[in-house]
Every structure is written in C-alpha cells, then in structure tokens.
Amino acid sequence: MESYDFLAGSYDELTWDVDYGRWCDYLERHFAKLDRPVNTVIDLACGTGSLTCKLAERGYRVTGVDLSPEMLSIAEEKCREMDRPSQFFCQAMEKLRLPQRADACVCCLDSVNYVLQPQKLREAFCRVFDCLEPGGLFLFDVDTPEKLRAMDGQVFLDETEDAYCVWRGEYSEKRRICTFWMDIFRLQDEKKDLWQRGVECHREYAYTMEELEEYLKAAGFEKISRHGELRMGKPKEGEQRIFFRASKPIIPRGRYQ
C-alpha cells in the first residue's frame, strides 16, 4: 500500500501532539525577517492541511501541494468553509508547477526526507526556486542522519480512542534509508467493536546538511542558514531536526533569469 493511502483517515488523530500554532509562530518569525512582505505561501507536502489552515487563518493566501490524493481530499474539506479558502494541487515535489509565484514556500515535518533520490530533490529545489517571487523565502526542516540511524530496531505505539498504530523502524546504512513499517487499526463500528486494519510502508532518506546546502546553492538560492528545532538560533550538537532557510535573489542569475 502506498504511503498515506490508509493512514490519511487517522493522520490527524495520531498526530494530535503536533502544535501547528507553534509551528505557524515559528514560520512567521522567519517571514518577519524578510525585506519584503509575505502575503502568499506555498505549503509543500501539506498533508491534511492543518498547517495550511493555520496560515490561512492568519491572513495568508496559501497554496497546498501534496502527492497523496487521500490527504489532499481531507485538506480540501478542512479548509472549505474558511473565509479565505486555499488552492490545492496534487503534485510530486520534483514536478512542482503552479500558476502563480509566491512570496514564501514552507515544507514542514521532515517531508523533504521522503524524497528518496538525491537527483529528484535537486530538481525539487529548482522547482521551488522557480515558484518563488524574487526575494522569496524557502523554509524547510529535515530529520538528521543521526536521528534516522537511531530509529533502527525501534518500535513505537500511537493510540487514540478510534485509532491504533504500531510502527517499527529499520535503517539501511548502505542505502541511507530508514523504513517505517506501520500497522494501523481504525475503529469502524463501536457497537460491534469492529476495527479495520491497514499496513503502510514509509521511507526517509538520510541527507547530510552539507548535501542539502549544496542542492540549494545549485538551484540558485542564497543567504542559506541552518536553525535548531523551532528555534532561530543555530542547531545544537546532537539536534535531531534542523531547519533550513534560503532566499531567492532579487535579481536571479544564470538559467533562472
């Protein structure tokens, strides 16, 4: 089963501990440091649209992009009744193509790690570059190789009243990929105590920070900086999630002119 096909229906329940308001606060701190105002935002790998909605609530015009039709269906339904509804597109990162440029692009919750081929991630960064206005901001986070290596052999449990998920990690040093095997149980009929089971496989690639910076530079980005998890300061030693901030030049050079 493809990633998020079955998980989509329980994703919000199982990620109840993600403080999207805090994530929004953090993104806005970066927006405030730009030399230009941020009015339009691309939420790349938007999932079920929780962050998309939060940004829209704060007055941004948001375009959500995700590869999973199931996740996008939930996102569209979630944002439908908002005063400023968002647009949604079903696209892979490396094929990103939007009708209008944006002031900023955000890609959160280690979604970049889900691009398993370095060449595709290089192309994805180029596509993001093309989708930004001159002076626009690209902000994303990644799980570090150290974090993904530590997942090897680990078993985790997420549980709510209506959903139950057991997942285990396997890390391949040769392939630099961490595979997460998930068994998901979703309550279908409470009176009959009837549950539906789904199995999913998720994979993340262990990019080094140096590789990511190289890809950003190759795409044309400048003013590249690294930050700790939801912090403006530099990453600390052993940090498991690192944010990258990069800007599109006011006057693009080379192939991007």
Average pLDDT of the chain to the nearest whole number = 91
**When comparing pLDDT for 148 and 161, which is higher?**
148
Spacing of C-alpha 112 from chain mean position:
6
**pLDDT band (50, 70, 90) for residue 158:** confident
Give pLDDT, residue 83: 80
Compute the distance between CA of residue 139 and CA of residue 102 in angstroms, rounded to an integer.
13
Selection from 115, 167, 117, 172 nearest residue 140 by Cα = 115
Write the pLDDT tens digit of every residue in 1-23.
455 566 676 677 778 789 999 99
Q: What's phi and psi for 51, nearest 5 deg?
A: -70, -35
Write the pLDDT tens digit of every residue in 177-195.
999 998 888 877 777 677 8
Percentage of the residues of the chain whose pLDDT score is greater than 90: 74
The model's pTM is 0.92
Dihedral angle, C-alpha 75, 77, 80, 82, nearest 10 °: -70
Q: Strands, DSSP E only, in the chain?
A: 40-44, 61-66, 87-90, 102-107, 132-143, 155-159, 163-172, 177-189, 194-205, 222-227, 241-247
Please determine, for residue 166, whether its predicted confidence score (pLDDT) is greater than 60. Answer: yes
Please determine, for residue 215, whether its predicted confidence score (pLDDT) is greater than 60. Answer: yes
Please determine, for residue 44, whether its predicted confidence score (pLDDT) is greater than 60. Answer: yes
Please determine, for residue 201, whether its predicted confidence score (pLDDT) is greater than 50. Answer: yes
CB 90 within 8 A of CB 69: yes
Give pLDDT, residue 257: 43
Contacts of 73 (CB under 8 A, 6+ apart): 8
Give pLDDT, residue 4: 53
**Could you give all domains of the chain from N- to C-terminal order, each with its CATH number?**
7-143+207-256 (3.40.50.150), 147-205 (2.20.25.110)
**When comparing pLDDT for 10 and 120, which is higher?**
120
Dihedral angle, C-alpha 94, 100, 102, 107, nearest 10 °: -30
Mean pLDDT of 120-127: 98
Percentage of the residues of the chain whose pLDDT score is greater than 70: 93
Spacing of C-alpha 192 from chain mean position:
37
Please determine, for residue 81, whether its predicted confidence score (pLDDT) is greater than 90. Answer: no
Compute the distance between CA of residue 255 and CA of residue 186 in angstroms, rounded to an integer.
49
Mean pLDDT of 120-133: 98
Per-residue burial over 164-196, b if 16 or more Cβ lie within 10 Å, else e, is bbebebebeeeebbbbbebebbbbeeeeeeeee
